[in-house]
A and B are shown apart, each in its own frame.
Chain A
Amino acid sequence: MTPYDHRWQRLPAHYERAVAWRAARIPDPAARLRFLRSWTGVERPRRTDWRRRSALLLLGFLFIPPPTVSDANGTLRVATAKILEPADHFPNVWLVDQKPDYEVFSNGLRVETRFRVRYESRKHPVYAIASDSADPLEWRTAPAGIVYHTTESLQVPFEPDNNRKLKRVSENLLNLVRDKHSYHYVIDRFGRVWRVVEETDMANHAGYSVWATAREIYVNLNRAFLGVSFEAETGSPATPAQIHSARILTDMLRSRHRIPAANCVTHAQVSVNPSNKGIGYHTDWAADFPFQDIGLADNYRRPVPSLYLFGFGYDTSYLESTGARVKTGVLLAEERLKEDATARGLSVSAYRARLQQRYQKIVAGLRPVGGSEENDGNEERK
């Protein structure tokens, strides 16, 4: 790098076009610059007052002229072109050695299998975005994505003197995870990767939840996505060993199941509460998930699908518990919802009601999520 170069990384072409298009519709120069910086990742001083920042960002969006109403009476259809997916490059990782208690992979990943357990076989529905039908487009058995969790379990100080205690706590945790079929993988604090529920089976990790790609919607991700949990609790960062292991584990899973990077997301991004129509019933990894360190794009910047596809809402306590990056996804989803409502000649509340109806129909066709499947210790969702 020459002395006059700046650190700079180009956005994927699809993102770039979308960001440029949207920026061009922001008339205020400072708001436009703020929007571009937020998407291009330019370094700038941190602002602690996130409420103001979010409000300004939202204000910027409000200045965007609405699309022309041309199909107000059309069927409920969300334009797929609005979600732009960068081309995915899948890592190439293969199994090298398989022993009774562990497996070794070509990227150095070692998976401990001493706690592995079978559960119900995976089979999950996929719904089309470009449709208002509550019937699945198709059923699949391959995992479509990964949801990252924290175990929110007892955290012994991470110090050499506590080795025995740390190992004992991890082992107790793994026993519990095995009994409850909570996750497919647990990464303990030393970075050891434990397979618990087999990848071919569902696990009780995500409960009521929603995620989507450009064309497909996944509902209740216990069956559709793999659950990878860090032995950690919210507020205390993952250890460097855990982050390294999460990276090579993610590479292995993406290689094996052809999982798009955009489908590697956190529990807080997907979790919903059908009773109050709110997002973020669970808030693990609502902030500071190290997407980049794990070799993924910052998926916090993706609009939250439950908001713009099924009309879920959120309250201020949710925003307060999340980081600025998640808030960007929430604000983008809100903007998307408004645009889609305008394009149909509907008020936001009327459009939201239609989206919620579709969600209710879809959920009615699925098996109810019990307390154990929600993985929160409650018997049933109130």
Chain B
Amino acid sequence: MKNANDNLIGLDIGTSRIVAARRNGEDYRYESQLNAFVRIPFSKMTLNVLKKEQVPHVVNEQEITVFGNEASRFADLLNSDTRRPMTRGILNPNEADSLSQIRHVIGAVLGDEKKNQKVCFSVPAPPLGYEANLTYHEATLKGVLEEMGYETRSINEGLAVIYSELEDTNYTGVGVSCGGGLCNVSVAYMSVPVTSFSTPKGGDFIDSSASAVTGELSNRIRIAKEETFHFNGHFADKVLQALSVYYDDLIQSVMHGLKEAFQNSRNVPRIGKPIPLVLSGGSAMPPGFRDRFEKHLNDVSLPVKFSEVRLAKDPLNATAKGALVAVMAD
């Protein structure tokens, strides 16, 4: 028999990946696609290969657009860069096709069935110090999903991390999502979001900054970051050293944000007990990141005490899972 939860989907719309979470009995299942695309010249042979391999794509008169996970591989083959529908957590204003392409990527993640399905999608928090207008981003994604036939609601990304990971403290604590475009931070008290913000430094910032100072291609930096980088003191390799420096910069900006948010927010409750802080997202995955983050946290003076700094059980899927928990609780 079909369960009511079968029609609910948590959707993490991140700068680098889009992840969907669904309930699978007592467990969760995830689908994800790279939030990127690449255009390749049209040829019947290429088209046949794509169909045979079931690679998500659309065909125009002169070219084929490959999107999702395979976009990266095709970009490597063609010695070009992937194009990104989003940048710094929101729709990319410099990408003319951002809307149509993100629609395709979302379609590839969510599949065909739309009838009576409800999607809770993640949105970033405003960046600290800016009156950023996120209304366009949120309203546009809502429009895209509704056009596709889904009922929608949205959730702050940091809060979704809390709903995913902090059940044991009745959803009290700090959720930090270190993504490709931004770090999203949210503080919640007994499930109620108290304050949230984002810092404009994520994985892309680390890649581009390290690339600029080392002269290496961003792609090589990214591969080094994902495959060999770990926090371990001083590196002889200049790429790894640069990565270490910019990771520290990212962490520092989160510390600065936490300090500013706690100082400026009138709403932060006096919390007697120490609260947990949970880290998630692809940029939180290098070995040693948690320890480094905790060290920085211990060095900064904040009006709350932390019981622990923990890494999410499944850092790449935590936001989507939290969004699903939120929509299941409606």
Residues of A with Cβ closer than 8 Å to B? 1-8, 10-11, 16, 19-20, 23-24, 29-34, 36-37, 40-42, 44-45, 47
Contact = CB atoms under 8 A, between A and B. Distances in A.
B255 to A, nearest CB: 16
A5 B195 CA distance: 5
B53 to A, nearest CB: 37
B261 interface: yes
Contact of A40 (B130, B153, B192): B192
A32 B162 CA distance: 13
Contacts of A31: 329
Given A2-B265, A33-B163, A33-B325, A42 B191 contact: yes
A59 to B, nearest CB: 11
27 contacts: A1-B266, A2-B195, A2-B261, A2-B264, A3-B130, A5-B195, A5-B266, A5-B267, A6-B193, A6-B196, A6-B267, A8-B192, A8-B194, A8-B269, A29-B163, A30-B5, A30-B329, A31-B329, A32-B171, A33-B171, A33-B191, A33-B326, A36-B170, A36-B191, A37-B329, A40-B191, A45-B330
B195 A4 contact: yes
B128 interface: yes
Interface residues of B, number: 31
Contacts of B269: 8, 10
A294 B133 CA distance: 36
Contact of A34 (B170, B193, B194, B329): B329
B131 A20 contact: no
A29 B167 contact: yes
A360 B149 CA distance: 57
Interface string B24-66: 0000000000000000000000000000000000000000000
Contacts of A19: 190
B29 to A, nearest CB: 16
A44 B330 contact: yes
A6 B261 CA distance: 12
A25 to B, nearest CB: 11
A8 B197 CA distance: 16
A169 B264 CA distance: 54
B194 A6 contact: yes
Nearest to A44: B330
Q: Closest 8 CB pairs between A and B?
A: A30-B328, A33-B329, A36-B191, A34-B329, A4-B197, A30-B329, A6-B193, A29-B167
A47 B193 CA distance: 21
A4 B329 CA distance: 24
